[in-house]
Amino acid sequence: MIHIAYKLKESPLHGIGLFADEDLTAGQLVYTASPLLDVNITQEQFDSLTDREKEEFHWWGFFDELSQRWHVDFDVSKFINHSPEGTVTQDTNHVEAYLVTTQDMKKGEELTQNYLEFETEEDLKRRGIVM
């Protein structure tokens, strides 16, 4: 669940991006997981999907090592693009997804995350994400 005002618009990084629609302060809560709305499936369930469905999971989601489940967010957080110097990061004081800003941000700035927090370099290369 996104906890800030935002806009979706064209990103200079990749396709569509998620942009702050308000000023943000370092450490501000941006996103938390929604156990009722997010999709979490087992490896067995993933294996039963069609190739196209698997592609969608690979594109929009990821495999969470801790829970041993495939995960896809229901909301617009999937439009947070990759950057080695992400403007949001996982707060390590929480087991579930809990993204906070890494710096003060101005309204209109793009929210980004270093995907290596939850994916491997191989995963990123397979999806065509430049590091």
CB of 110 closer than 8 Å to CB of 18: yes
What is the rounded CA–CA span in Å between residue 22 and residue 115? Answer: 24
If one counts every other C-beta atom within 10 angstroms of the C-beta of residue 103, the result is 14
Which CATH homologous superfamily contains domain 6-38+73-115? SET domain (2.170.270.10)
* Amino acid, res. 51: D
- pTM score, two decimals? 0.81
Q: What is the pLDDT of residue 19?
A: 98
pLDDT per residue as tens, the chain (131 positions):
999 999 999 999 888 999 999 999 999 999 998 888 889 999 999 999 999 999 888 888 888 887 888 988 888 998 999 999 999 999 988 877 889 999 999 999 999 999 888 888 887 887 777 66
Q: What is the pLDDT of residue 104?
A: 98
* Amino acid, res. 101: T
